[in-house]
Structure 1
C-alpha cells in the first residue's frame, strides 16, 4: 500500500487547524520553527540514557499510554489487547479498530499528527490500513534513526525535564549528562509520597527515603532533614524544578507540637484523621516550598485530579493505568492562604499552577495576579491545559481565561506531560491552536494586523518566555 496520498486529500496538511491567512502566516513564519522546551514530562530517563530502539510500533505508541487504553476500553476492547498478554501486532490491530471511532477526541488528531511527523504516513489509521502502517512504522523504528535520542532531536527539542521521586539515584541523568547527545535532559523533584501520610504504604516509603538520604527518620525534623539532603542531591545533579500532583493545595493552621504528634502516631501505625493529614501536609509543603525558594528553584502544582476511582482495576493494574478523572475540589481559599503565607515571608519562588477542572480556569487565572509582584516577568504562571484539558477546546479555554485575567504575552506555553517518545507533535498542535486563536482575532480586527507585534508574542509563548523563565 502507498502510505502517502495526494496533497488535496491529506488530513494533516500544512494549514491544518489554521482557518485564515493571518493564522497561517503566524504559524508558518513565526511558530513552526521555534525550538521546544519540554519542561514537564514523564519520559523514562533509562530509555533515553540507553538510547533504546523499540521493536515495533505497539511498544512505543500503545504500551503505557492510558489515553489510548481508556478509549479502547470504552470501545469494548478486551483488556488482554490493552495491558494484557496479546501479541503486539494484535494489540495494534485493536487500536486501529478503535481509532476511527475516536473522531472529535484529541486522540484522533494526535494519532495522525504523530504518524505524519515521525513516519511520513498520511493515510488514516483504520482496520484496512493497519497492517501496512504497522509494518512501515515498525521497519523504521528498528533503525538507529528512530532511537529515543534521535526521536527527541527530530522534533527540535532543546530541553526535557523528566519527573523523579526523591529516592531516585538519578544515575540515568548522570549518564546522559556525561555522554550527552545535544539535548539537555534534566529532572524535577516530586515528593508527593512524603506528603501522603494517610497512605497505607507511608511508613515503608519513609524507610526507603531514609536509606536514600542516609538520615534515620524518627521525628518530623528528621523527615525534613532527609528531604533536604535529597534536595541537595537533586540540585547538585542540575535539578531546578519541583512538581506536586495534588487534588488541591492544603492549608490548615497547626502547631509544631501537633505535627510531631501526628508524625509519631503514623510512624507507630496509628490512624490519622483527615484534619491531621491536612495539617501535616500544610506544614511539610510549606517547608518544601521554602526550600525551593532558598535554592532558586521553580515549583509546579498540578491540581484537580480525582485518582484511582476504580478500586477493582487499580488493584489489578496499579496507578496510572487509566482510572482517573477530573475532580471538583475547592481551590481558591486554601491556595490563596498558602501562597500568601510564603509571600509574607518573601519565600514564594516562581510558581506554575496547572488546573484540571475547566470550571476553575478563571479562579487560577485571577489567582496568579495576586502574587505577581514585579520581581520577575510572569513569576506566577497559569500553566497550559493539562491532562484531560490538553486538547483544542481545553487549551483554547485556558488561553482565553489567561488573556482575560492576566497577560497571555507572558505565558510560558506548552509541555507534553507525556510518557511517550512520540508525543512532541502536541507542541505543534498547541502552536496551531494558538496561532489560529490570534489569527481569527486579527481577521476580525479585534487585535492589530501587526505581524511584528503579534508574531513576536507568538514566538515568546512558543519558546522565548520558557527559555527566559527557566534559564536553562
Structure 2
C-alpha cells in the first residue's frame, strides 16, 4: 500500500547535523508569526466581492505564471490549452477546468527542484489536505477534493485572510483606479488590512501604446483635466493622495532600468506634449522621460510619504508573438543585467537623506547585491534593499542573498521578506520557505559563534515580521 503523501517537518532546513537543530529552534519562533504581504498582486476584487473561487484550475493554475511557463516549456501544451484566453482570437481556450488541472498534474515531475514545487506542495498538503502526489492518475481525485474545499464558506477570500493569518496585504492597482473596491473594504472594516498600491508605469512610458488614454483616465479619476505637462503632474499628485487616503503605503515601479536622471523641465514638457498628442517619440526620448519621471516620483514621495518600490531589469513580453496572442504576465518576462550605482545617484543625491523619503530597491540580477545595492542600502538612510524577488525567490538564491548582502547592508537595512504573487494560496507557502531559509542562515552564524542564539531568534523575527512592517509603515 502506498504511504500517504506528507511533507517533512525539516524541509528546506540545513542538512548537516550541527546547524539543523539550531535552525529548527529558530524557525519555531517565527513559523506562527502573522504575515505582512505588502507587495502583492492578488486582485482587490476578490476581497471586495468575497465570492467563491470558481474551480481549482482558476484558483491555482491559470493565474500563476510560474506554473504556466514551466508547463509551456515542456512543449506539449500552449497557454490557451491551460485555460489562458488568446486575446487575439487565434485559438479556442480550453474551457474545462478539469482538463486544465489534469495537464498541470501530468507535469508535476517538471517542477522538481524548483521553488514552485515547494510552494505548491505546501498549498496542496497544508491547505487542502491532499495525501497523494499530483500525477495523471491522481489528478481527478485531487481536483474533486480541492473543489469540495473551495465550495465551503471558510474558503472565501476574506476567510482566508484569517486562516492564513495575513495581518496586512497590499494589492497593486493601476494609477487610474477608481478605488471603489477599497472603499467597500473600508466600509466593511477591512480598510487597514487590504491596502492599495499606486502603480503608475504606463503613465511614465511615452512609448506605451495607450499612453494618452491612460493619462486622461488618471486625470479623470483624480478630478484633474490633463492638458499639458503641468496638469499631468497635478493629476499624478492628486491621485497619489487619493490612494493614500484609501490606505496606500507605497508606490510600485516596474521600470525598465533604474535610471533616475532628471531632464530640464522644458524638455520634459515638450516630450510629454508630443506623446499626449500622439506624435512619435524615439526610444531614447522615451527612456529619458521615464528616468525623469522616476525622479519626479521620488520627489512626490518626499511630499506624501509613500514608500517608493523600484524593481527594474525585466524584458516584459520577451516573445512578441506570445504577448500579442495572450497579453502580458503570462511567463514570458525575462531578466537582464541592470546598473544601479550611477542610475540611482541622481535620486539618492537629491533625496537619500530626506527625512520623508523611503525607497525599497529590488533586483533580479544577483551580481549587484554585494557590488552595488548592499553598499547603497548600507549608507543611505532612505534606501532599503528588497528581498529576493520573482525568479530569485528561491531557496538557493535566498541563501546567496543573505551571504552577499548582509555583510555590507546588515539586517536592519533590508525590507524583510516581501512576497510578490498573484497566487493567493501560495502566500503562506512563500513566507514559510523564507522563514526556513533565514533560520538556516542564522543557525550557521550561531554555530560559528558569530551570533548568540537569542540574537539569531530576534533577527529571524525582524526579517519575518518587524522589518516589513517598519519598511512600509504609514506616514
Question: 1:446 deviation in Å?
Answer: 4.4
Q: Kindly tell me: are residues 337 and 471 of structure 1, through their superposed partners in 2, closer, same or farther at Cα, counting changes over 3 Å?
A: closer
Q: TM-score, normalised by structure 2?
A: 0.91
| 2-structure distance, mates of 1:273, 1:254 | 15
Question: 1:110 deviation in Å?
Answer: 1.2
Look up the SS of the partner of 1:332 in the other structure. Answer: coil
The residue aligned with 1:14 is: 9
| Superimposed CA distance per residue, residues 352-405 of structure 1 (whole angstroms, 9 cap, x where no aligned partner) | 000011222222112212312xxxxxx421101111110111212222222121
- Answering whether residue 430 of structure 2 is matched by residue 426 of structure 1, we say yes
- Answering whether residue 358 of structure 2 is matched by residue 350 of structure 1, we say yes
The residue aligned with 1:193 is: 202
The residue aligned with 2:375 is: 366
Look up the SS of the partner of 1:278 in the other structure. Answer: helix
The residue aligned with 1:23 is: 23
| Superimposed CA distance per residue, residues 399-435 of structure 1 (whole angstroms, 9 cap, x where no aligned partner) | 2222121112453322221112211210001101110
| 1-structure distance, mates of 2:351, 2:454 | 39
Q: Kindly tell me: are residues 237 and 253 of structure 1, through their superposed partners in 2, closer, same or farther at Cα, counting changes over 3 Å?
A: closer
| 2-structure distance, mates of 1:139, 1:178 | 31
Is the Cα contact below 8 Å between 1:244 and 1:302 reproduced in 2? yes
The residue aligned with 1:376 is: none
The residue aligned with 1:390 is: 393
The residue aligned with 1:306 is: 315
Q: Kindly tell me: are residues 323 and 413 of structure 1, through their superposed partners in 2, closer, same or farther at Cα, counting changes over 3 Å?
A: same
Is the Cα contact below 8 Å between 1:189 and 1:243 reproduced in 2? yes
Of residues 147, 150, 159 in structure 2, which corresponds to 1:150? Answer: 159
The residue aligned with 1:282 is: 291
> Pairwise mapping of residues 412-451 of structure 1 onto structure 2 (< 5 A)?
412-424=415-427, 425-443=429-447, 445-448=448-451, 450-451=452-453
The residue aligned with 1:225 is: 234
| Superimposed CA distance per residue, residues 136-188 of structure 1 (whole angstroms, 9 cap, x where no aligned partner) | 11111110111111222211110001111121011111111111359711111
The residue aligned with 1:268 is: 277
The residue aligned with 1:375 is: none
How big is the alpha-carbon RMSD for the aligned residues of Structure 1 and Structure 2?
2.0
Q: Kindly tell me: are residues 451 and 304 of structure 1, through their superposed partners in 2, closer, same or farther at Cα, counting changes over 3 Å?
A: same
| 1-structure distance, mates of 2:191, 2:215 | 37
Q: Kindly tell me: are residues 305 and 348 of structure 1, through their superposed partners in 2, closer, same or farther at Cα, counting changes over 3 Å?
A: farther
* Deviant stretches of 4+, over 6 Å: none
> Pairwise mapping of residues 50-449 of structure 1 onto structure 2 (< 5 A)?
50-79=49-78, 80-82=80-82, 83=84, 84-180=93-189, 184-252=193-261, 254-343=263-352, 346=354, 349-362=357-370, 363-372=372-381, 379-424=382-427, 425-443=429-447, 445-448=448-451
Deviates more, 1:331-340 or 1:180-189: 180-189
Is the Cα contact below 8 Å between 1:158 and 1:183 reproduced in 2? no
**Uncovered stretches (5+) of structure 1, i.e. residues with no partner:** 373-378
Q: Kindly tell me: are residues 68 and 170 of structure 1, through their superposed partners in 2, closer, same or farther at Cα, counting changes over 3 Å?
A: same
Number of equivalenced pairs: 457
Look up the SS of the partner of 2:352 in the other structure. Answer: helix
| 2-structure distance, mates of 1:251, 1:163 | 22
Q: TM-score, normalised by structure 1?
A: 0.92
Deviates more, 1:331-340 or 1:143-152: 331-340
Question: 1:343 deviation in Å?
Answer: 3.5
Is the Cα contact below 8 Å between 1:149 and 1:181 reproduced in 2? no
**Uncovered stretches (5+) of structure 2, i.e. residues with no partner:** 15-19, 85-92
Look up the SS of the partner of 1:15 in the other structure. Answer: coil
| 1-structure distance, mates of 2:151, 2:241 | 40
Question: 1:463 deviation in Å?
Answer: 0.4
| 2-structure distance, mates of 1:347, 1:223 | 26
| 1-structure distance, mates of 2:376, 2:299 | 20
Q: Kindly tell me: are residues 151 and 307 of structure 1, through their superposed partners in 2, closer, same or farther at Cα, counting changes over 3 Å?
A: same
The residue aligned with 2:459 is: 457
Is the Cα contact below 8 Å between 1:300 and 1:351 reproduced in 2? yes
Is the Cα contact below 8 Å between 1:159 and 1:186 reproduced in 2? yes
| Superimposed CA distance per residue, residues 78-136 of structure 1 (whole angstroms, 9 cap, x where no aligned partner) | 22331232410011101001111211111111110111221122432222222221111
Is the Cα contact below 8 Å between 1:66 and 1:320 reproduced in 2? yes
Q: Kindly tell me: are residues 183 and 128 of structure 1, through their superposed partners in 2, closer, same or farther at Cα, counting changes over 3 Å?
A: farther
Question: 1:52 deviation in Å?
Answer: 2.1
| 1-structure distance, mates of 2:197, 2:50 | 21
| 1-structure distance, mates of 2:277, 2:399 | 49
